[in-house]
């Protein structure tokens, strides 16, 4: 199965750029996410982390 796919992919010109683009998107996403986590305010993190424990907004159906 892999030989079949590999044979077709080798015949496409310019296909070698797609793994590089996907690696760049992956890397940039996690760098931005890491930056957001480092710069997030403590009050916001505390508020968001307590949302599941907040019973004031619970409604029983």
pLDDT digits (tens, 9 = 90+) for 3-56: 777 777 778 888 888 889 999 999 999 999 999 999 999 998 888 888 888 776
For residue 15, give Cα distances in angstroms to 6, 24, 46: 11, 15, 46
pLDDT given at position 31: 98
More confident residue, 50 or 58: 50
pLDDT given at position 54: 76
pLDDT given at position 38: 92
pLDDT given at position 61: 53
Q: Rounded to the nearest 10 degrees, how much is the dihedral formed by the CA atoms of 25, 30, 31, 36?
A: 130
Q: Evaluate if residue 60 carries a pLDDT over 60.
A: no
**Token pair belonging to 44:** 């916001």
| Cβ atoms of residues 9 and 15 within 8 Å | yes
Q: Which residues contact 15 (CB under 8 A, 6 or more apart)?
A: 9
């Amino acid at each position: 199965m892999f030989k079949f796919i590999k044979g077709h992919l080798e015949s496409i010109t310019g296909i070698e750029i797609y793994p590089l683009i996907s690696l760049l998107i992956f890397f940039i996403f996690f760098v931005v996410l890491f930056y957001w986590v480092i710069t997030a305010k403590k009050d916001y993190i505390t508020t968001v982390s307590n949302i599941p424990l907040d019973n004031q907004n619970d409604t029983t159906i």
